[in-house]
């Protein structure tokens, strides 16, 4: 009943918001974001702590508060955009997207070893994936299934509008291998905290952050091109989709496996940080990105946490 109620509320909100012009929908979403920022003390505190941890003395207290509330407003607008998206056609979405770095993506695709598109919770990554499917062909999205099966089914319908496929994490590894062998493009998000047993610790905004090694491990193992991608809102419903050049994983093959994985994962984190710094209020600061600490920062008792037997076993947990 709880899941059905959540689903009914979401569908009702989407149907009601569709009565508004596009700008009105986003305005309502931003206002809702500000309301949540004001009322949700727990996530407001997490967000402010994260922004302060990231920027320290680089920004004033007022600037950091503006980033924090701006993130809530951005994701409120994104939520309403997705709730009211409907089924946009190729022409409609292509008219709303500027593409940067297409030649870099095409070069990676021509290698024929598959492409691993590495995204972040930045801008509107969901809409970018749909537009990518129309422009470049089917994209295979690695995702965790939502706890609410009704919302999960609705989200999957949205994600597959342009012919994309959702690959759920509980069965992703074998499917990913098959896809890259066929030269396909697989998208994965790697900017959230993970448990220590599943983590590589990299520098992220000047502090160690527990990060999944899956993208680095998979690229090193299969030879798939590793292409970071980001989406910048431009206003008035328009976006700029940026494709970075493939990370040169071959430059690290002389290292042992763990060192190579750590080096590639650090490159990804560095690129993600550079984009977040350009538009900090477009990233998901509400998540406890630095929650898991490296062993040297923990007590001796917590250091006894079990480590995985291999990166392959931990990569997609």
Is a pLDDT exceeding 50 seen at residue 308? no
pLDDT at residue 313 in the model: 40
The mean pLDDT value for 296-313 works out to: 50
Is a pLDDT exceeding 50 seen at residue 305? no
Helix (H) or strand (E) segment spanning residue 162: none
Q: Which residues of 275-289 are buried (b: 16+ CB within 10 A; e: fewer)?
A: bbeebbbbbbbbbeb
| Residue-averaged pLDDT of the chain | 92
Architecture per CATH, 92-314? 3-Layer(aba) Sandwich (3.40)
The mean pLDDT value for 24-39 works out to: 96
> 116: helix, coil or strand?
strand
The mean pLDDT value for 130-135 works out to: 97
Phi, psi at residue 79, to the nearest 5°?
-60, -45
Pick from 156, 159, 140: which is nearest to 148 by CA?
Answer: 156
Beta-bridge mates of residue 98: 240
**pLDDT band of 148, cuts 50, 70, 90:** very high
**pLDDT band of 315, cuts 50, 70, 90:** very low
pLDDT at residue 297 in the model: 85
Residues with Cβ within 8 Å of 19's Cβ and at least 6 positions away in sequence, in order, are none
pLDDT at residue 310 in the model: 42
Is a pLDDT exceeding 80 seen at residue 97? yes
> 84: helix, coil or strand?
coil
Residue 279: left if φ>0, alpha if ψ -120 to 50, beta else—which one? beta
The mean pLDDT value for 197-215 works out to: 96
The mean pLDDT value for 184-197 works out to: 95
Residue where the block lists tokens 């929650």: 291
pLDDT at residue 291 in the model: 96
Q: Give pairs for 65-70: CB < 8 Å, separation 24+.
A: 66/281, 67/280, 67/281, 67/285, 68/37, 68/44, 68/285, 69/33, 69/34, 69/37, 70/280, 70/281
pLDDT at residue 299 in the model: 59
Range name among 36-40, 64-68, 87-91 with the lowest pLDDT average: 87-91
* Residue spans per domain, the chain: 1-84, 92-314
pLDDT in tens, 280-304: 999 999 999 999 999 988 754 444 4
pLDDT at residue 172 in the model: 86
pLDDT at residue 307 in the model: 44
The mean pLDDT value for 130-158 works out to: 96
Is a pLDDT exceeding 80 seen at residue 8? yes
Share of the chain above pLDDT 90, in %: 89
């Amino acid at each position: 009943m709880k899941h059905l109620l959540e689903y009914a509320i979401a569908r009702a909100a989407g149907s009601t918001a569709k009565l508004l012009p596009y700008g009105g929908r986003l305005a309502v979403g931003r206002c809702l974001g500000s309301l949540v920022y004001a009322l949700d003390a727990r996530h407001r505190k997490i967000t402010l702590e994260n922004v302060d941890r990231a920027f320290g003395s680089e920004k004033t207290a007022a600037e950091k508060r503006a980033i924090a509330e701006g993130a809530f407003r951005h994701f409120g607008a994104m939520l309403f955009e997705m709730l009211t998206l409907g089924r946009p056609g190729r022409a409609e979405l292509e008219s709303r997207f500027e593409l940067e770095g297409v030649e870099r993506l095409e070069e990676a695709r021509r290698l024929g070893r598959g492409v691993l598109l590495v995204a972040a919770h930045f801008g509107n990554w969901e809409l970018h994936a749909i537009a990518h499917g129309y422009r470049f062909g089917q994209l295979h999205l690695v995702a965790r299934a939502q706890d609410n099966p009704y919302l999960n089914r609705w989200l999957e319908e949205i994600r597959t509008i342009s012919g994309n496929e959702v690959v759920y994490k509980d069965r992703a590894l074998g499917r990913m291998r098959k896809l890259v062998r066929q030269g396909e493009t697989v998208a994965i998000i790697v900017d959230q905290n993970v448990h220590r047993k599943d983590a590589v610790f990299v520098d992220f905004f000047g502090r160690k952050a527990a990060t999944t090694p899956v993208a680095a491990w998979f690229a090193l193992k299969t030879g798939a091109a590793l292409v970071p991608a980001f989406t910048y809102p431009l206003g008035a419903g328009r976006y700029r989709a940026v494709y970075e050049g493939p990370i040169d994983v071959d430059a690290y093959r002389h290292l042992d496996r763990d060192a190579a994985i750590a080096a590639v994962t650090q490159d990804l984190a560095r690129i993600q940080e550079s984009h977040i710094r350009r538009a900090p209020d477009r990233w998901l600061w509400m998540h406890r990105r630095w929650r898991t600490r490296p062993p040297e920062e923990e007590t001796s008792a917590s250091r006894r946490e079990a480590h995985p037997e291999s990166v392959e076993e931990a990569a997609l947990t």
